[in-house]
Structure 1
């Protein structure tokens, strides 16, 4: 993370499928986001998947995704789709959206 805040910000949207609802995945993702230093949100989708939108430096976002892919709930993940979007700077924290 760039302590001066001058490093360019990126924004990713992930759709995570598998056994990711009813297992505490949103709280897990929030904790990982805080450790990785990214801001945004996570929510359940009607199709049983989870959606995450996060902003941060490229390094922080890659670290976050790596933690999601290898953490203790990773065994329940069947797939992760990531799309890059233009950053908006709207986030100040990482939240669970209900």
Structure 2
């Protein structure tokens, strides 16, 4: 990937998004889209993710985040920009809850 054409977005997903396979499903969606980054549960009940890739692929993952897996009930997705810097992560991983 040409790092000059890549973006990073931070997502906070609110709703019934824990205990429904959201992190696993997002990891699978990110891998299909070629997006790198991570996803994790937060102790406040939200899911947090950071997605790194082409603008089109990252936007496709953001669009997916608004629906999530079938069992999820997504109420809100807050998307923030992440400043450029550093090497992208390798793959897309699930992280421990914070």
Does TM, scored on the shorter chain, surpass 0.5?
yes
**Aligned mate of 2:32, from 32, 35, 46:** 35
**Aligned mate of 2:49, from 52, 57, 72:** 52
Q: CA RMSD in A?
A: 1.7
Alpha-carbon distance in 1 for matches of 2:76, 2:88: 27
Q: How big is the shift at 1:75?
A: 5.3
Alignment map for 1:77-92 (pairs within 5 Å): 77-87=74-84, 88-92=86-90
Moved over 3 A (4+): 70-75
Equivalence for 1:65: 62
Q: How big is the shift at 1:71?
A: 4.8
- Structure 1 unaligned regions, length at least 5: none
Alpha-carbon distance in 2 for matches of 1:78, 1:56: 25
2:25–2:68 CA contact under 8 A, matched in 1: no
Q: How big is the shift at 1:74?
A: 7.7
Equivalence for 2:13: 16
2:65–2:77 CA contact under 8 A, matched in 1: no
Instruction: Give the paired residue count.
Output: 94
Scaled by the length of structure 2, the TM-score of the pair is 0.86
Alpha-carbon distance in 2 for matches of 1:23, 1:75: 6
Q: 1:97 to 1:71 in 2, by over 3 A?
A: closer
